Amino acid sequence: MKHLFTPPGELALSTVMAMRPLLAFDFDGTLAPIVARPDDARVSSAIAQQLRQLAHLCPVAIVTGRSVADVAPRLGFEPHYVVGNHGAEDPLDTTPPHASPSLDALRMRLAAAGPVLAAAGVSIEDKRYSLALHYRLARDRDAAQAAIDSLLHTIEPGLATFGGKCVVNVVDTLAPDKGDAVVRLVERSSSAAAVFVGDDVNDESVFVRAPAHWLTVRIGRDDPRSRAAYFLDGHAEVALFLGMMLNVLSAQ
């Protein structure tokens, strides 16, 4: 990965913006900073204003691990598309959502283990199409992680787990991921390319799927294995990046 604010990154940005691409963003850790309590996460008014301006010039999408109902009121603007649950929840997709008996079976196990998980500082978030076990507020995060690992050591068939920032996610392996979602949104919006910005494990499915003419950006350089083409050095640089996109579009 290369830092986006370099001559190669600026050239790549100018090239892709000339295509009036789909602009797709993760939410937590990307448009909104990571906070101790997920319910407190919001897009700042300054970033929301920039996104509102961009949405007049290009199709804008939010592709998040949160549910659509959860994330929509946190944005401060209306994007063209919102896809939730790591790509599995697309309100505009007419295909019936994938039913997951395995998730239902895990829900029953989680309910039975609720007191043990709560004692370890783990909270369970049921987003219908996926499950999330949060432990950011645990007094002993190692113990909380161990409690989650013990519960999910044997996972129901057809389910997959992946980590995040003080969270373990559970998804159905047959459900669409973020990579599927962004490819679908590029087609739906009749865009010639995409810009995608994300910060976590579930965003790698987009980075891996992206054709060479897309622009992929990771928030943070902490994962040398990331398949993103460029990086920003933290959430503080997101507003600068959005401003750069607006400047490039106004100059073209």
- Give the Å distances, CA to CA, from 28 to 33, 97, 112, 136: 6, 24, 29, 14
Instruction: Mark whether 172 is an active-site residue.
Output: no
- Per the residue annotation, which of 26, 70, 172, 203 is the catalytic one? 26
8 A C-beta contact, residue 20 and residue 191? yes
CB 164 within 8 A of CB 200: yes
- Please state, in angstroms and rounded to a whole number, the distance separating the CA atoms of residues 180 and 202: 12
What is the C-alpha separation between 131 and 135, in angstroms, rounded? Answer: 13
* Structure tokens, 183: 């490819």
Active site (catalytic) residues:
26
